[in-house]
Chains A and B, each alone.
Chain A
Amino acid sequence: MTEESKSAYDKQGWLNVLVRSRETSLVLLIVALTVLTTVLNPRFLSPQSLKDLMLNVSIIALLVLGQTVIILMRQIDLSISSIVGITAFFSGTLFVNHPAIPSMVVVLLAVLAGLLLGAVNAALIAWGKIPSLITTLGTLYIFRGANYAWVHGRQVNAVNVPGSFLAIGTSTFAGIPILTWIVLILLVVFSIGLRQYRAGREFYAIGSNPNAAVLAGINVSRLLATGFIISGAIAGLAGALWLARFGTVDATAAEGIELTVITSTVVGGVAITGGVGTVVGAVLGALLLSVFSSTLVFLRVPSFWQQAFQGAMLLLAIAVDAYLAYRHALRSRVKWSRV
């Protein structure tokens, strides 16, 4: 069987395989960008800048995991940045009010807080039947507003956070930042979960054809709710890690990163129309955008261009997807007209 499929792949030509396997093309793009930038500025590959790159991408990549589950179901979660902000400040105040609290407990409480906020989205979307775009746009503002009211102009400073906790955000293990290890471990967990378990495949099924999912006996509401709770819990973890990475947190923490996360996910090949994509691709999408921004910095491109480039990447990714879908439709229509 595998022999057959291999030979079929050969026949399709390398360009086809390249465009079709999003992961491969992303890796090649990342390598090409890295080589190009290194030639122009060899410091790009210095250990320090590599570490910075990994640290920069980690929290986004973490959030991308949760967002992938959501977008696979043809949904969207805009509220994650507000959940990150509120749980980051929450983690900080835990240290301020209980200086002796173990770091692990803080992380777990932050995850729990994120999970509960995700459950608010879940209830509104799965049982209130409000479209997720509207629900999470609403909770994006509500959570952020509540955060402003609670923070009230205060700020958590690094001096209040124990060094052992801050180390999570800065130190490395085997040359790779702890933060990145956390992402890699969760990436493996999500990858296996989405590929090897029934519930994982059912996320794809719901996004691919909601009606057929119901016909197959899938409990769509329950899975929708599960997805938004997972996304919230991941955002809670990201909130705790945000504090570990930056030390200083005020009410504006993580504002606007939901758009970077969604862009990364879509650039990584998770179709905005649901049913297609992998977490590996989505994380590579986040890495590509991050390498791209660093490249622009190293090449001394003014920072306002970065946002424009990011937007252009998003549109390019969607254009490639649309083109592939169009070619496919064209082929099926040719089949049809022979009828």
Chain B
Amino acid sequence: MSSEPTIELVEIYKSFGSTRVLEGVNLTLFPGEVQSLVGENGAGKSTLVKIMAGLHLSDKGAVRMNGQEVLFRSPSQAQHAGVSVIYQEPTLFRDLSIAENVFMHRQPKTAYGWIDYAEMSRAVSQHLSQLGVSLRPEDPVLGLSIADQQIVEIIKALTFEAKVLIMDEPTAALSGQEVKRLFQVVERLRNKGVALMFVSHRLEEVFAISQRITVMRDGRVVGSGPLGEWTTNEVIRKMVGRSLEALYPKENVDPGKVVLRVRDLRRAGVFKGISFEVRQGEIVGLAGLVGAGRTEIARAIFGIDPLDSGEVLIGDTALTDHTPQRAMAAGIGFVPEDRQQQGLVMEMTVMRNVTLTVLRQVQRFGLVSQEKEREIAALWTQRMRLKGHIEEPVSILSGGNQQKVVLAKWLATHPKLLIVDEPTRGVDVGAKSEVHRTLSHLAKEGMAIIMISSELPEVIGMADRVLVMHEGKLTAELARSEATEEAIMFAATGQTPSKPVH
């Protein structure tokens, strides 16, 4: 590139607690250029974006704009310096008008010191017509589509005279038509000399819109160059390329009877056409990128979210009037992703948490019997090899041990089918392999398990079969022998592999 960079990130380091998220990232954006940033979940893209947006401060490293070092301590500092970020879900005031959203906290004033609504409308309608969007500045944001809300964010950025515009997964919630309009807007901004960064999982869009592609993996930039130097295969290889560790001890089990069968599940705007089955002794991995609809399917099978159509069968009986209570009675257990919010009552003891799912079993004369509670809790926590006493509050346990309590809680219900969502997120390596050993052991005893995971090595190591999702649809079903990181990533990004990649 002959022109001077607009913004430069030099050797950026960032850790959260003991987790290193960014390890020496260098990134340069040029005026009039769209740069795409791609990488697996957890590669560090979002953290990098948040540092540029002024939401996080880096631990080490420098940010330079037009050659001068800058420090963004807040989003408004970054915006005033000319860096604007558009998030996947826009953060707007839905009760206020488009014009007010654009100018909040910096409204133009008349000579009397009153807010100049006429000027606000004029400026916003000028931008709206320049972008070719038929909205009115006085319209409330409430009721606007995500696409239109992004337009409002873009206009906000334009009124800040943004020199750098970062879009974090802007197309995730858009229809084809809306993506097209967004890309036209991007093209217009590019011609005006704005430096744009496009964070996306959709590789076809990345190739359609950008002039430069940068790939991140495990907190580092592993490749960056002009569009011409890249092929889809090359991008995917860079995204995943890491060695598989022998951490995942799934024992081979001959699958037994079908435990769960789902047929043509559909929930409008979330997923559709989902059919698969899970057998006794099987671990089925559910892979895909964040937002592909994996957790939503699990929630629907467990009866938390309603289905628009489709059937869920346990054994041969269909679940009707689907509620979590009925799902539990039918033998489904669900270990949610967010332990602290959905899986545990942090202030209660281990014992109380474990017996929450089986309160009926620990009753005597209609009252909860401490003795029976202790008995059941001791049984399951011992089997889980939980470190810590059952009368301690859950909040003082480590992440790995908390996860064991959640598992124990569901195992106490003797489920035939266990759904685990990101079972090892935020768990240290030692506890991770114990969680894996436990899951493997349960499968061997004949339990059917659906494991949702964003960690490809975990999916590949643990799953007998891998279902891959992309934007609400199943795009691949891979047997253990076929499940490579490349194959999964291809299906997860919506590509159809013409031939196997190496």
* Chain A residues engaging chain B, CB cutoff 8 angstroms: 1, 4-5, 192, 195-198, 201-202, 204-205, 207-209, 211-218, 271, 274-276, 328, 331-333, 335-339
Residues of A within 8 A of B115 (CB): 195-198, 201
Complexed CA–CA distance, A274 and B268 (Å):
30
- B496 contact set on A, CB distance < 8 A: none
Segment with Cβ contacts to A, from B93-101, B212-220, B339-347, B387-395: B93-101
Instruction: Knowing A196-B114, A198-B115 are in contact, say whether A331-B143 is a contact too (CB < 8 A).
Output: yes
Contact of B121 among A1, A208, A332 (CB under 8 A): A1
**B92-A212 in contact (CB<8A):** yes
A5 to B138 Cα, complex, angstroms? 9
Q: Is the CB of A332 within 8 A of B145?
A: yes
Interface of B is mostly: loop
* Additional pairs, 18, CB under 8 Å, beyond known A198-B105, A336-B269: A1-B125, A1-B138, A192-B114, A195-B115, A196-B114, A198-B107, A201-B96, A204-B95, A204-B96, A212-B93, A215-B91, A216-B104, A275-B93, A275-B94, A275-B95, A333-B268, A339-B174, A339-B175
A-side contacts of B106, CB under 8 Å? 198
Contact status of A216 and B145, CB under 8 A, knowing A1-B125, A5-B136, A196-B115: no
Closest to A202 in B: B105
C-alpha spacing A167/B453, complex, angstroms: 75
Contacts of A5 in B (CB 8 A): 136, 138
In the assembled complex, the Cα of A201 lies from the Cα of B97 at a distance in Å of 11
| Interfacial chain A residues near B92, Cβ < 8 Å | 209, 212
Interface pairs A-B: 8 shortest CB-CB: A217-B76, A275-B95, A208-B93, A196-B114, A212-B91, A337-B268, A208-B95, A339-B175
Give bound CA distance, A275 to B136, whole Å.
20
Min CB distance A192 to B, Å, is 8
Cα–Cα distance between A328 and B140 once the two chains are bound (Å): 12
Neighbouring A residues of B138 by C-beta, 8 Å: 1, 5
Taking a contact as CB atoms under 8 Å apart, the answer to whether A328 and B142 are in contact is yes
In the bound complex, CA of A278 to CA of B355 (Å): 50
Shortest Cβ distance from A328 into B: residue: B143
B74 within 8 A of A: yes
Question: A215–B78 Cα gap in the complex (Å)?
Answer: 10
B75 in the interface (beta carbon within 8 A) = yes
A4-B136, A216-B104, A331-B143 known; A275 and B91 CB under 8 Å? no
- A192 CA / B117 CA spacing, docked (Å): 13
29 A-B contacts (beta carbon < 8 Å): A1-B136, A4-B136, A196-B114, A196-B115, A197-B113, A198-B115, A201-B107, A202-B105, A204-B96, A205-B105, A207-B95, A208-B95, A209-B94, A211-B91, A212-B93, A213-B104, A214-B75, A216-B76, A217-B74, A217-B75, A217-B76, A217-B79, A217-B105, A276-B95, A332-B145, A337-B269, A338-B175, A339-B173, A339-B174
Cβ–Cβ contact B105 & A197, under 8 A: no
Shortest distance from the beta carbon of A249 to any chain B beta carbon, whole Å? 40
Q: Which of B95-134 contact A (CB under 8 A)?
A: 95-96, 100, 104-107, 113-115, 121, 125
State the CA gap A5–B76 with chains docked (Å). 32
Nearest residue (CB) in B for A331 is: B143
Complex: A276 Cα to B143 Cα, angstroms: 15
Question: Which residues of chain B from 344 to 360 have a CB within 8 Å of any chain A CB?
Answer: none
